[in-house]
Amino acid sequence: MRPFTQVKGPYAVIPNENIDTDQIIPARFLKTTEREGLGRYAFYDWRYGPKGESNSDFILNQGTYEILVAGENFGCGSSREHAAWALLDAGIRVVISTSIADIFKSNALRNGLLVCQVSRAFHQYLVNARDQGLEVDLPRQRLLVPNGKHINFELDPFAKRCLLKGFDQMDALMDYLNQVEEYEEQH
């Protein structure tokens, strides 16, 4: 995965709560054996109408965004990592919400998609002030808005290290194979 660098720019707001992974990528697109190219299926049933026509009301049809601000409990439902792959392939680098579902969060962070949990108050502020931009400062774990205000977000230090260095957890796990062998001998 590529290292996470600074992200700065406008953000898309999808205020709905409990956006499940079936919305992020409908199951009928999971028959692929590839990881690449899933961006075209991201939010497919929200982006396109019954006859495949583009839904111009939907924010992701109105521009290109690297930052997504979404309602509470984003990414609930299935464990499909395709949800994180699809968002990344669609250009999203950061998801901001008041809470993020466990499996989605772990999938996202392993793939270099930063997920930030923020307070309800700050989330509401972002939703209300949606025409402005936002800067994501990962090293300092801060979100900055144009008036100079900033808010800190929490992040697992391990996930942060992986994001900044762009390294793969698999490689880190391989370093423990001696301990794994010892464990297997004892059990």
Partner 1 sequence: MQPKTLFDKLWDDHLVVSETEGQPAVLYIDLHLIHEVTSPQAFSLLAEKGIDVRRPDKTWATMDHSVPSLGPDSSKVRPFVDDEAREQVETLISNCRKYGIPLSQMGEKNQGIVHVIGPEMGLTTPGKTVVCGDSHTSTHGAFGCLAFGIGTSEVAQVLGTQCLFQRKPKSMAVEFAGIPPEGTSAKDLVLFMIQQLGIGGGTGYVLEYRGEAIRRLSMEERMTVCNMSIEAGARAGLIAPDETTFDYLKGREHAPKGKDWERSIAQWGNLKTDAEAEFDQVVHLDVSSLTPMVTWGTNPEMVVSIGNSIPEPKSESEWKALEYMGLEARKPIVGQKIDVVFIGSCTNSRLSDLREAARYLRGRRVAQGVRVLVVPGSVEVKHQAEAEGLDRVFRDAGAHWREPSCSMCIAMNGDRLEPGEWAVSTSNRNFEGRQGKGGRTILASPATAAASAVEGCLTDIREWRFV
Residue 141 binds partner 1, judged by CB under 8 A: no
d(CA 103, CA 74): 11
CA separation for the pair 99, 93 (Å, rounded): 17
Of the candidates 57, 63, 177, 185, which one interacts with partner 1 according to CB under 8 A? 177
Is there a contact between 152 and 131 (Cβ–Cβ < 8 Å)? no
State which residue, 57 or 184, has the beta carbon closest to partner 1: 184
Residue (65 or 106) nearer to partner 1, CB = 106
* Residue 128 or 147 with smaller CB distance to partner 1: 128
Closest CA to 161 of 30, 23, 4: 4
Binding to partner 1 (CB under 8 A) within 21-40 occurs at 22-23, 26-28, 30-35
List Cα–Cα distances, 51 to 23, 48, 54, 62, 63, in angstroms: 18, 8, 9, 19, 22
By three-state DSSP, how is residue 27 classified?
helix
Check residue 167 for interaction with partner 1 (CB under 8 A): no
Rule CB under 8 A: which residues touch partner 1?
Answer: 16-18, 20, 22-23, 26-28, 30-35, 45, 50, 71-73, 76-82, 84, 99, 101-103, 106-107, 110-111, 156-158, 161, 169-174, 176-177, 179-180, 183-184, 187
